[in-house]
Amino acid sequence: MDLADRASRMSAQRRRWTAAAPIAVVPFGPVARRQLRLAARVLGRVFRAPTIITAEQPLPSSALSTRGQYDADLLLELLHRQLPERCLRVVGVTEADLYVVGRTFVFGYAHLTDGMAVYSTARLCEGFYGRPVDPSLLARRVLRTLAHEIGHTFGVPHCEGEACLMRSVSFVDTLDALPVRFCPGCRPRVEHGLGVAPWSARGRWERGMAWLRRRDFVRAALSFEHAVRSSPLESAYHHSLGVARLGLGDELGARQALARASELGGGRPAPTPAHDSTDAA
């Protein structure tokens, strides 16, 4: 079964899915054009998302380990700072090998809450293991890796379901064995996330929360202000704006926003600004 057939099987389970905005693909270092076209094809067929391929970004020397691998966590931070304003998600692709602290390597890595993912084709190539090059197998592995990591960006953690694309992956053999569909438990979360436009109230709030976790209170407050203007009766948006204004030292503005949140229903606590969640494959 080729890439088109596998992607079609995934598309059959989500005929109503339509991405609210494009997904940006960012090449880190030199990446073959055929790999960028493959990424766009997967995103279009699996998530019905148009793709914006950005200019190549250099691999930062600060992310390079003594083993010759790049820290995927640091690459995610670079992606966050350049996420196009009107893109639903951003995914980095590189031909360099990746790792994260605590793992000797990863095929890909993603933020569960901030809309960012990165993957590497290095260990997806049969040549890495000293075996004959197999373009078809490489394409199938890219399909699984990319769809899996984008699934994480919609807040979907690893799944224990035997028939789910979000099962945990440790080695290339377990990657090859991944089903090519989301299970009934994970699928609704992906479907919901695809429908949240970045310029909507919810989308602005989610971006604000990402800035808040990084203690960038200026950008967080701006995002929350957009959310409040778009949806003035949502208590959580006022509450988050109050937290951001408190971080800016605007005590009066913070009290006003928190009071409004209380009037509307109490709001809900924002996650700790320094906290973030990630998942790897």
Cβ contact 7:42 at 8 Å: yes
Nearest to 89 by CA among 58, 70, 110, 108: 110
- Rounded CA gap, 278 and 30, in Å? 25
Two tokens at 152?
């994480």
Nearest to 101 by CA among 76, 129, 126, 127: 76
Nearest to 203 by CA among 168, 130, 154: 154
Two tokens at 220?
């967080």
Kind plus residue range of the DSSP H or E element containing 73 = helix 72-81
Q: Which amino acid is at 104?
A: T
* DSSP one-letter code for 60: P
**Count of positions (residues) in the chain:** 281
**Looking up tokens 């790049």, which residue turns up?**
70
Torsions phi, psi for 5 (to 5 deg): -65, -40
* Given the residues 77, 126, 149, 234, the one annotated as active site: 149
Examine the residue annotation and report whether 95 is marked as an active-site residue of this protein: no
Beta strands 103-106 and 98-100 are antiparallel
Torsions phi, psi for 214 (to 5 deg): -95, 5
- Rounded CA gap, 242 and 245, in Å? 5
Q: Which residues are catalytic?
A: 149
